[in-house]
Structure 1
């Protein structure tokens, strides 16, 4: 039986745990490049995680200046745990941590475009991007 989901801030996770979660969530990330995933974990300013016992079932990973803006670089929830409010709770915890003066922004995958407005995000048209080469 599933226990209550436990949420943690900046708890150490391994690249292997993050890879497994990304695979289980369907998010497109470099799941087989463990050194790169390790750098993604180490260099994040805020990482909220959701746990079912010892199993990592959700993550919100963000980069911020703690003053003006915060970029939510990953929001992933294991498919078996989706539609339970875990993603929304991770975003709410992140918002509580950064406060009301800090703008929270993200780039959505095409398949998640309808999800983010449901959890409080407004869509914007004034963005630009220089895409990564790999």
Structure 2
């Protein structure tokens, strides 16, 4: 599958980006929220197939010591085709000189991230405002 990766948020492609999120049940991702999170992201990876955005990924970083990868998501209709791996490789390449790269996996996708060199943290901590997420992700 020939996928092109773009490294810039394109507001005119908002509907396609929102379709990616909504296809996997992430309905809180409105136009306003998508615009806000992508404009505040330092690193962007958009997977394009036949002119349509079918996958996204983004990261925040200080460019030296720390980075965090967020939202590696592929449209439901395009999953299991290696697109998420292409996004991860692109994000990791853009972050290759950063000392520590963090991410929080959605439940059930930990093995995917391990294939890309990610490992469990011994001292990782988090706080969620949403009680459902607290129950799912925190000890």
Give the TM-score band, short-chain normalised: 0.7 to 0.9
CA distance in 1, matches of 2:123, 2:22: 31
Contact kept? 1:77, 1:87, Cα under 8 Å: yes
Residue 54 of structure 1 corresponds to: 51
Residue 99 of structure 1 corresponds to: 96
Alignment size in residue pairs: 130
Give RMSD over aligned pairs: 2.1
TM-score, length of structure 1 as denominator length: 0.84
Structure 1 residue ranges without an equivalent (≥5): none
Residue 37 of structure 1 corresponds to: 34
Residue 2 of structure 2 corresponds to: 4
Structure 2 residue ranges without an equivalent (≥5): 132-139
Deviations 1:33-72 (A, max 9, x none): 3212210111111111110122111111111111111111
1:122: how far off? Answer: 1.1
Stretch moving more, 105-114 or 69-78: 105-114
CA distance in 2, matches of 1:73, 1:132: 17
CA distance in 1, matches of 2:72, 2:80: 14
